Chain A
């Protein structure tokens, strides 16, 4: 088959397939600022590299981001976008395309709100964990601009999910949230992050499989899609009202559980040392 005939047959393909016929050396123009159209090989390599890189170093949030983007096409991010389109608020979010940055979310005003509101809970959670709503990495590897926005929205509202469930930023808390998000959004990256259970200590793993994983799965499945919550409009809603509306129960407080365990261990150690000293003194 000579090249002109091959070219004609290529043009005759349906649009979605035709759009993928590019190579590393002739990429199509970007669909939005920052977009990098990747070939299948590059996507696969980036997915594998990001997976192992983020497992080795969980602080590399950019790798977790690229893992999410490369594994969510073709099916999962489209499913999530359709879930948004099937819901009134979701459609409004896609029309308005609000962005959450440290500028658009003024923590000062949020802290002034009544203590039972979503906004107050969000600001209080940020202060407790010592984090800021700093700008999340921009989506680069998803081809459709609207799907890219859906992924960006998911990333930016992750902290709100933390705030209404009360889970902390430590690995245990993040894993519980990721399990919840998998049951809720079906993004593969959230399921792949479960591999980080190998980094948990034995007692943390027990706690995770006994309490937090069952909580995450049952709540993630029975609750409404968290991606469809217009957080900017819910800042003054009562947290309990929102939770009931969504169908989310609060899990046992993780930081308190850890502190209780730490105190228990300290008390045991002190008692053991006292016994040893007593034993040494009396020569037993």
Chain B
């Protein structure tokens, strides 16, 4: 063992050779690294050739690419989506979703005319079925409505697969009260116009390439008097101190948790960047109103809508609602 001691110190002796500089190697290494970076295809090359671009987190991508990139992000997060949601929001996402569903109060107790029909609810980007489950439970247990049904729609088949798995052990699947539709929210041609009582989208709309097209489709499929409800993250909190903590948690802890729990830092980096890119509450309420919905709240002097949404948890998330007018405005 004593003979190993000089060997061991040999490893440590190298620490002191800090003055070693081989200028020839340095120059070469630098040159080869420049060549290396030049050979890397720049990601925005494709998009900068006059095509329309949009944001994908902080990156800029061609519009056609965004949907497939979003699809692949959610394919990789699908299997531990719930665990990650719990870790990222410290379980608070459950409270937000419960409040969202309770405030919408799905299900009808009695019908004014004729036999009870039940409502048709379309849950967009609802792959894993969180909202759909809560809607059906609320309608069945609180409003004693066993006819209300939910169409769960998502662009991503893996997320829908998770939803189907979850519903397979529930009574709703056998009763035919839940159906699954793989579709892009900007093109819901599989859903007939004016057929849906309640259109919900929870934590999905920030991933859409064209939010205005999705809002227009929502307007089309809803019945007159139908409700559009959206639960989404907000780009910043109103309180700047809390916003400081919140942003550091988002950009520091969340990708880290993604790396350790799910082995995927990049998808979670995309998620927090996409929140940053989402329009503010006033802007989004304006977009909903422009799609034709009646939005609660009033227009202030600057034309912006005030008070047309509900902030949750100091503004981390917000619920936006709109009602399709009973008669088209002339």
Contact indicator A86/B11 (Cβ below 8 Å): no
B4 touches A97 (CB 8 A): no
The segment out of B27-35, B100-108, B186-194, B314-322 that lies at the interface is B27-35
CB distance from B135 to the nearest CB of A (A): 36
Say which size band chain A's interface belongs to: 35 or more
- Verify A95–B252 contact, CB threshold 8 A: no
Contact across chains for A25 and B248 when beta carbons are under 8 A apart: yes
Question: Interface on chain A toward B: helix, strand, loop, or mixed SS?
Answer: helix
Q: Is the CB of A94 within 8 A of B25?
A: yes
| Whole-angstrom CA separation of A82 from B25 in the bound complex | 13
Once bound together, how far apart are the Cα atoms of A62 and B17, in whole Å?
Answer: 32
A82 touches B7 (CB 8 A): no
Task: Give the distance in Å from the alpha carbon of A63 to the alpha carbon of B263 in the complex.
Answer: 8
Which chain A residues lie closer than 8 Å to B330 at the CB level? none
Among B28, B37, B253, B256, the most chain A Cβ lie within 10 Å of the Cβ of B256
Measured CB to CB, the nearest residue on chain B to A84 is B14
**Which of B8, B32, B40 is close to A33, meaning CB atoms less than 8 Å apart?**
B40
Partner of A221, one of B7, B14, B36, B259: B7
**Chain B residue at smallest Cβ distance from A39:** B252
Distance of A238 Cα from B257 Cα, bound (Å): 46
Contact B260 A53 (CB under 8 A): yes
B263 touches A24 (CB 8 A): no
Query: Is there a chain A Cβ closer than 8 Å to B109's Cβ?
Result: no
A46 & B14 in contact (Cβ 8 Å cutoff):
no
Question: Which A residues are CB-close (under 8 A) to B257?
Answer: 49
| Distance of A35 Cα from B32 Cα, bound (Å) | 18
Contacts of A236 in B (CB 8 A): none
Closest residue of A by beta carbon distance from B32: A97
Q: How far is the CA of A222 from the CA of B252 in the complex (A)?
A: 43
**Beyond known contacts A63-B260, A83-B14, A140-B265: 16 more, CB 8 A cutoff:** A23-B248, A25-B251, A46-B260, A49-B259, A62-B259, A62-B263, A66-B259, A78-B15, A85-B20, A97-B29, A146-B29, A186-B11, A221-B4, A221-B8, A222-B4, A222-B7
A–B complex contacts, Cβ < 8 Å, 28 sampled: A23-B248, A24-B247, A24-B252, A25-B248, A33-B37, A33-B40, A42-B252, A45-B256, A46-B256, A49-B256, A49-B260, A50-B260, A53-B260, A60-B263, A62-B263, A63-B260, A75-B15, A82-B15, A83-B14, A85-B20, A94-B25, A95-B25, A96-B32, A97-B32, A146-B29, A183-B8, A186-B12, A218-B4
Which residues of B are in contact with A by a Cβ distance under 8 Å?
4, 7-8, 11-12, 14-15, 17, 20, 22, 25, 28-29, 32-33, 36-37, 40, 247-248, 251-253, 256-257, 259-261, 263, 265
Interface residues, chain A, with chain B CB atoms under 8 Å away: 23-25, 32-33, 36, 39, 41-42, 45-46, 49-50, 53, 60, 62-63, 66, 75, 78-79, 82-83, 85-86, 91, 94-97, 140, 145-146, 183, 186, 217-218, 221-222
